[in-house]
């Protein structure tokens, strides 16, 4: 399986300087959004800025710009919003889905987020939030994040510390949650999990309803 390496923040080429204030404003806007309407508006701006195609699930922006936003704290800001929305009464399902979709873009197209133990430790808060987001209907985006995290041995080890990701993959495959894309993400996750060690293969085989 291909292993991705990411240059350190100091070595990465920076995005065009003219775009940096826009990216910083986006991150600040995400951090400061306090209402459903504000969250929808700032997430819409984010998707527009990265030219995200919701059908193909691919952004049309250079990876240096995505990494720049990661370095400046966009994942942390999105996780704070996700935690707030998940714990608020009467939260709107679409809010959860949009936040998770935004997070999934960075995990899919910034492999450096899972390339080291230090990177994984910084994502601990997200790991606790994802199962709840999954059970509230964000099947595709959460499965996509789990798939991305599972691309390294350390990521797989972190995910398998509790059964949520494996059970989620089972449900996605069994019940076609998240449509065809969801199933493909789940199968990719299971392929990664079984790649690293025999014990993981036994875990997958032992999941009732999966095989």
pLDDT in tens, 67-102: 999 999 999 999 999 999 999 887 789 999 999 999
Q: Provide the pLDDT for residue 2.
A: 33
| Confidence bin at 202 (pLDDT 50/70/90) | confident
Is the confidence at residue 203, as pLDDT, over 90? Answer: no
Residue range 99-124, pLDDT digits in tens: 999 999 999 999 888 876 666 676 67
Q: Provide the pLDDT for residue 114.
A: 82
Is the confidence at residue 182, as pLDDT, over 90? Answer: yes
How far does CA 171 lie from the centroid of its chain? 18
Return the ∠ at Cα 127 (arms to 121 and 132), rounded to 5°.
Answer: 165
More confident residue, 111 or 55: 55
Q: Rounded to whole angstroms, how far apart are CA atoms 62 and 106?
A: 12
Residue range 139-164, pLDDT digits in tens: 999 999 999 999 988 888 888 888 89
Q: Provide the pLDDT for residue 20.
A: 87
The dihedral built from the CA positions of residue 44, 50, 54 and 57, taken in this order, carries a sign that is: negative
Q: Rounded to whole angstroms, how far apart are CA atoms 22 and 92?
A: 27
Q: What is the pTM of this model?
A: 0.86
Element housing 171 (H / E): helix 164-175
- Mean pLDDT of the chain, nearest integer: 86
């Amino acid at each position: 399986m291909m292993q991705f390496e990411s240059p350190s923040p100091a070595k990465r080429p920076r995005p065009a300087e003219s775009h940096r204030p826009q990216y910083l404003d986006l991150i600040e806007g995400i951090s400061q959004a306090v209402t459903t309407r504000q969250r929808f508006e700032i997430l819409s701006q984010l998707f527009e800025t990265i030219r995200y195609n919701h059908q193909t699930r691919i952004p049309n922006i250079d990876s240096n710009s995505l990494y720049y936003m990661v370095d400046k704290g966009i994942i942390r800001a999105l996780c704070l919003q996700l935690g707030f929305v998940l714990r608020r009464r009467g939260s709107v399902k679409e809010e959860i889905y949009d936040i998770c979709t935004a997070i999934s873009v960075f995990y899919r197209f910034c492999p450096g987020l899972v390339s080291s133990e230090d990177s994984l430790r910084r994502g601990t808060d997200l790991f606790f939030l994802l199962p709840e987001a999954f059970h509230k209907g964000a099947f595709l985006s959460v499965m996509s994040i789990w798939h991305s995290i599972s691309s390294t041995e350390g990521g797989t080890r972190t995910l398998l510390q509790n059964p949520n990701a494996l059970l989620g993959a089972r449900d996605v495959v069994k019940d076609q949650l998240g449509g065809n894309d969801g199933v493909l993400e789940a199968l990719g996750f299971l392929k990664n999990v079984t790649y690293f060690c025999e014990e993981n293969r036994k875990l997958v085989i032992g999941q009732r309803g999966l095989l």
